[in-house]
Structures are given as C-alpha cells and as structure tokens.
Amino acid sequence: AMTNRGAYPHFMLKEIHEQPEVVAHTLLGRVAGESVDLSKELGWTKEDAAKWRKIHFIACGTSHYATVVAAHIMETLGNFEIRTEVASEYRYRNIPIDEETLAVFVSQSGETADTLHAARLAKERGAKCLVITNVRGSTIHREVGEALITPAGPEIGVAATKTFTAQMTVLTLLGLYLAKLRGDLKPDTERRLTAALMDIPGKLATMLSKEKEIEALARDFADARGFFFIGRGLAYPPALEGALKLKEISYLHAEAYPAGEMKHGPIALLDKELPVVALVPKNALWEKTISNIEESMARKSPIIAIATEGDGEIGHYTKHVIFTPETEPELFPFIAIIPLQLFAYYIARQRGCDIDMPRNLAKSVTVE
C-alpha cells in the first residue's frame, strides 16, 4: 500500500525514491506525441488565455518554491507578467487583482489556511482561479473548482519531496499550455521541452543511483555549523528548496541566496565551518557562479558542487562534486533537487533527527 514504508527506514526516503514514477504518472495523458494538452482538465479558450495578462502564483512552503521554479521556466516560454507570492503576504498587501488575473494556488494538502484565504480573496476580486493540489476534493479544490491534480499519492513525510517534483511537472505543463493558447509558444520549444520532460524520470533514477555517494558526503559534513546554498537563474529556486529541506529535518541553519547577491552581506558569515552548496550547471551563467565559488573559497568555506556530467573544470575548485546528467536548461531544477533532498535526509540521519516527524512542524497548517 502507498501508506506503508516497506523496506525503507523512513517515509521521506521512500517518497524520494518514488519520484521517477510520480513524474511519469504526472505526465500521463497530458503529453501526447510532442504536444501538451490540458484541454481535458481545463475548459480554456484562446480568448481566455489572451485575457489573462497577469499570472499570480500563491502558495506556502515547498509549494511556494515549486511556483518560483515555474515562474523562472514560464519567463522563458512567453510574454507573461508573473508574480509569485507566499499566501500569508498576498492576502494582506494591496496587490492589484482583477478579471485579467489568472491566480494559481498550489497546495499539496489543499487545506493550508493561508492559501485558502488568499484564494477566497482572489475570487472575490474577480480573478480566474485555478488550484494545483495532491488531494482531490480537498477544501481548496472544492472552493476553487477548477484544478490540476498532482497524482503523487499520499505523502506521509512532513518534509515534502515527491509532491514538489509533481508540482514542478504540472506547473511546467501549465506554462507550456498557456503559452500555446496565447500563441507565444514556438513549436520547436514545445517539442524540445516535452521530449525533455519525458526523459526526466530516467534522469531522476540516475540521480537516485548516486545515493551512497551523497550519504558519504553527508557523513563528511554532518558537523557543519550551517550551510549556504547558492545558484543563479534556474539554479536558484532548487537552492531555496534544498535549504528548506535541510532546515526542516536537520535543524541546521541553511540559507539560499542568488549567488551574485552573496557579496552584499551574507558573505560575512562564511568560514571553514560554513560549507557552501553551489548549484553550478554548465550553462551561460557557469563562469559567474564559479567566480562566486572562488569568493567563498577565499573565506575558507568548503564547497559542495552540483555540476553537469562532463564538466571537466569543476574538479579544480572542489573534490566534493555531485554530477547531474545533462538536460534542457529549463529543467535543471528537477534533477538538482534529488541530491539536495538526499543530502538533507542523510545529514538529518547522521544527527539522529526524527525525519518523518520533525519538531515544531505539521504536514498541513490549517491555522493562520
């Protein structure tokens, strides 16, 4: 059964391992040939899509970080005006919301109070609302009506893992579909990204096969005072989620920064007891991130790099490297998150933490 952890010592580890299957399942029936089709779930016309000039993403926690990934990807797909906000802020600010707004609420549980209240507000203001949830018939689903379901199965570990990859998958499909309805999507972009999405499950399996390597790395670093996670562009959102996983289950201080922003303050914290996890895929921003790695090395911070297979130079900077298979640049967050989840898991295990039920946290927060 889905709620049995079988041979795994923790639900979190089991759920990390389910991700290839979850992504494959999430794509099923939504990608046909090399084309994205959400028309079975969303009764949207070209006119609707053209009218929604503003796209708002509203969520909390890990679901919020999935929307940060989505915003970065969607910016590459079309001429969207996108905002990503945490639900508890969205509600109390004076953000213009109107009939030209598509408000997308993302909630694994569908029960998070802040997200629910934000959805009520957006609805009142006349926005078109859509929910992305893992629980069919949840409160948010019932109130919002229109939904895209993430078919990840029940998630028991308090720290979200498989629902995050399922959310990123659905959000990427949503971005492609909206861009297509609006006439912004280039056919070769659609072909390139749908093909790359279909390859994601296999690449996640490749990353999972590096588990022993990541466990060894966690053993080396379990006594660190805390961690910085840095990345640029599409490598920044997975850094946010990697840092969140670590703080949730290991109780170590972990902070994510856009790599170029480190010099504006956070660099003051660096020393040999504060390692930097650098997400440095081989892309146009590689050299810029390398220069931030060098700045961190100059402050004696140990460097752990998440780099692209075949990067022959990364070894000059650090011996702690986890290589990721190549993918289309937009989809790097999918692949990068696996070693970060496993790293958080094994650090927490080294430290003897209660991984599936971390202190002070609840699986879903139904109070404001």
Residues with catalytic roles: 363
Q: Does 365 bind ligand G6P (CB under 6 A)?
A: yes
Q: 264: left (phi > 0), else alpha (psi -120 to 50), else beta? A: alpha
CB of 25 within 8 A of CB of 31?
Answer: no
Quote the tokens at residue 99.
Answer: 């009939």
> Which region among 24-32, 57-65, 219-227, 319-327 touches ligand G6P (by CB under 6 A)?
57-65
Q: Does 147 bind ligand G6P (CB under 6 A)?
A: no
Q: Which is nearer to ligand G6P, 350 or 364 (CB)?
A: 364
Q: Considering the complex, what minimum distance in angstroms separates the CB of residue 109 from ligand G6P?
A: 3
Which string of DSSP letters, residue by residue, matches 248-286?
HHH--EEEEEEGGGGGGTGGGG-STTS-EEEEE-SSTTH
Q: Does 250 bind ligand G6P (CB under 6 A)?
A: no
**How far apart, in Å, are the Cα atoms of 109 and each of 14, 149, 225?**
19, 11, 33
Q: Does 256 bind ligand G6P (CB under 6 A)?
A: no
Burial of 352 (0-12, 13-18, 19+ CB in 10 A): exposed
* List 19, 67, 84, 115, residue binding ligand G6P (CB under 6 A): 115
Q: Which is nearer to ligand G6P, 112 or 318 (CB)?
A: 112
Helix (H, G, I), strand (E, B), or coil: what is residue 91? coil
Q: Does 67 bind ligand G6P (CB under 6 A)?
A: no
* Alpha-carbon gap, residue 142 to 120, rounded angstroms: 12
Q: Which is nearer to ligand G6P, 232 or 245 (CB)?
A: 245
CB of 245 within 8 A of CB of 220?
Answer: no
> Which region among 59-67, 117-125, 187-195, 342-350 touches ligand G6P (by CB under 6 A)?
59-67
> Which region among 28-36, 119-127, 288-296, 359-367 touches ligand G6P (by CB under 6 A)?
359-367
Q: Does 113 bind ligand G6P (CB under 6 A)?
A: no
Place of tokens 């084309």: 35
> Which region among 28-36, 56-64, 143-151, 170-178 touches ligand G6P (by CB under 6 A)?
56-64
Q: Which residues bind ligand G6P (CB under 6 A)?
A: 60-63, 107-109, 112, 115, 158-160, 361-365
